[in-house]
Structure formats: C-alpha cells, structure tokens
Amino acid sequence: MKLTILEMRDDYGLLEFEEVNYSFLNSLRRALVTMVPCLGIHKVDFHMGALGSWTDEEGEEHEYESLSAMFNEILAHRLGMLPVPTDSATLQAFSAALDDPEQQPEIMYSLNMQGPCTVYSGDLEPVNGDKSLAIPDPHIPIVKLGKGQAILVYARAIIGSGARHSKWQAVVAPRFHEAQTLRLSGARSKELVEAAGTGGFRKSGKAQLLKDPVKVYHAIRKLRRFHADEKAQAAIEIETLPDHYLFEFETTGAITAGLALEQALKALDSHCVEFVAGLEAAA
C-alpha cells in the first residue's frame, strides 16, 4: 500500500491511496467516524433562581429570571454538540480512563449571560482560564435571551468517541472514490480542456491527457454540463485506475485532521490485533 498526503489542514484531509482495496478504506472511514476520541460536554448544571437585578425605564428594580425561550434539556443538547478542542496531550492524559466515564477527570466550563442578548459558543468559558480550551468557533448561536432573562450554567467535558454518542464524533463526511484519468480527443478537445479549467493536461498522441486524480475529479464535475452533448461525450474518455483511491474527510474543529487520522489508524490496528488474537484462540 502506498499513501500520499495531498493536503492536511486543521479541519480537512485529502489522501491518495494506491495498491489498496475497498474494504480497508471503508474500515478507515468507519474508524474515523466512531473510534476517534475527543472531548465533549457530558454534563450540564443549570442554576435555578434569581441571577442579579436590573432597572427598567421607570427606575423600578427587577430580578433576572433564570430562564429562556428554550427548555433546559434543549440547551444542554446544544452545548453537548459544541466541538471542544482536543490535542494529543489531552488524549494521553485522559486515555487511562477512556472506557470509564465515572473515573475520568473533567474540564469545567461556565456560561453566565443576561438578556437581552444572543448567547454564542464563545460565551462558554473554561473555568481554569486556559484559552486553548475555548470553543474553536465562537459564533455558534446557543439561545436568545429576552429582557429580564438570564442563564448561568456549569458544563463538564470528558473524553468519548462517536461509537457512544455523536457529540464525540470528531470527524464528519469521510468519503473516498476511485482515482481516474481523463482523455479528451477530437475537434472539441481544446474547448473541453478550457471548460475543465483545472490545467495539467499533457499531449498524448492526438489527445489531451490528464493524470492527476484530484484534477481529474474536479474536471469531470465541470464537464458534466456537456452530458446532453453527444459529440462532446464522444470526445471524453474516462479510465478508472485499479486499487487507486482518493480519500477525504473533515473535522468538527474539536481535533485536527492529522491527529484524527493518527487516532483512527491506531484504533483500527488495535481492533485488528484483537480480532486475530481471537481467531488464534478459537483455532
């Protein structure tokens, strides 16, 4: 198997696999979704009762009420689905108690807002003051508070994986497709090359050949507008490469794409070792 990392950003990874079969890539896809550990808010405590006071236009003093337009259960769910930043040091520190939530250490967050305002994910602050633990996207709306409404919340985050709940699913939309080459020939080849708009075509006899699988993928998508043009379709030749795939995935922001890939491969390797050991024991 040959692996080439074509692109690796914090929130996106693009890989090229050669000499690999479909089953392995599907296993990797499932591992990215269900086996990558990350932090997620597990428990939410709501303060009930008065939360300070405010003065109206007539000078009369009122108490802030600990309520909003949403049930607390819905707010707890929204907080639970926020991506909580997780790095390799955190994973290592929490790994010993990964399978036992009751024994895990917790990272505490607080949320204290008074209306009228819109509460965003950036208003959720780590109690220990560590800014590296702040929610990566501060602009996710949580709830809108009206005049006299307030919210005081303490939330606890622990490590989990997507196999237990989607709030611990750090990777989204992992997908793969077969690598292809694109050959354009005939009188329409120049027009089609320009329509593809990817560059990278090379002369091959009387045709234009594109071998870069990433550029081929985008070129084919752009050439779909010629689907009803019979002459254009006759000039387009697509060849699928055996055991050659492009694999891409995105993250929620809780974990970097590189770390997610590393954790998925480790988990997949561990499961394979257990499986083989089970087979040997049963033999």
| Per-residue model confidence as pLDDT tens digits over 163-222 | 999 999 999 999 999 999 999 998 889 999 999 999 999 998 889 999 999 999 999 999
User: What tokens does 160 get?
Assistant: 């989990």
Among 147, 168, 189, where does a domain finish?
Answer: 168
Same domain, yes or no, for 29 and 51? no
Where residue 135 sits, what CATH number does that domain have? 2.170.120.12
Contacts of 22 (CB under 8 A, 6+ apart): 245
Residue 255 lies inside a defined structural domain of this protein:
no
Q: Does residue 258 lie within any of the structural domains? A: no
Of the chain, the percentage scoring pLDDT greater than 70 comes to: 95
In a domain, 273, yes or no: no
Res 96: pLDDT: 67
Residue 108 lies in a domain: yes
Which tokens go with 18?
């050669």
Q: 154 with 180, same domain?
A: no
One domain, residues 53 and 25: no
Q: What is the pLDDT of residue 97?
A: 62
Please tell me the predicted confidence (pLDDT) of residue 275.
83
| 278, part of any domain | no
Say which DSSP state 245 is in: E
Confidence of residue 99 (pLDDT cuts 50, 70, 90): low
232/117 same-domain check:
no
**What span, in angstroms and rounded, lies between the C-alpha atoms of 246 and 54?**
58
Residue 38 amino acid letter: C
| Pair 138, 67 in one domain | yes
In a domain, 234, yes or no: yes
Q: Are residues 176 and 161 in the same domain?
A: no
Domain range enclosing 98: 39-168
pLDDT at 56: 66
Neighbours of 4 (CB within 10 A): 10
C-alpha distance from residue 199 to each of 172, 178, 186, 205, 213 (Å): 30, 20, 18, 18, 12
Q: Note whether 23 and 250 are within 8 A (CB).
A: no
pLDDT digits (tens, 9 = 90+) for 19-34: 999 999 999 999 999 9
pLDDT at 54 over 70: no
Query: How far lies 234's CA from each of 38, 81, 190, 193, 216, in Å?
Result: 50, 49, 14, 14, 17
Same domain, 150 and 48: yes
| pLDDT value at residue 66 | 83
What is the mean predicted confidence (pLDDT) over 234-249?
A: 95
Q: Are residues 50 and 144 in the same domain?
A: yes
User: What pLDDT was estimated at residue 98?
Assistant: 64
Residues 204, 152 share a domain: no
- Asked if residue 142 belongs to a domain, the reply is yes
In the listed set 168, 194, 209, which residue is the last one of a domain according to the structure? 168
In a domain, 275, yes or no: no
User: 105 phi and psi, to 5 degrees?
Assistant: -70, 160
Do residues 50 and 160 both lie within one domain? Answer: yes
Mean pLDDT of the chain: 90
- CATH number of the structural domain spanning residue 234: 3.30.1360.10
84 in the same domain as 63: yes
What's the domain count of the chain? Answer: 2
Distances (CA, A) of 33 to 22, 40, 87, 114, 167: 17, 15, 17, 37, 11
Residues 47 and 153 in one domain: yes
How does pLDDT run across 147-167, given as a tens digit for each residue?
A: 888 999 999 999 999 999 999
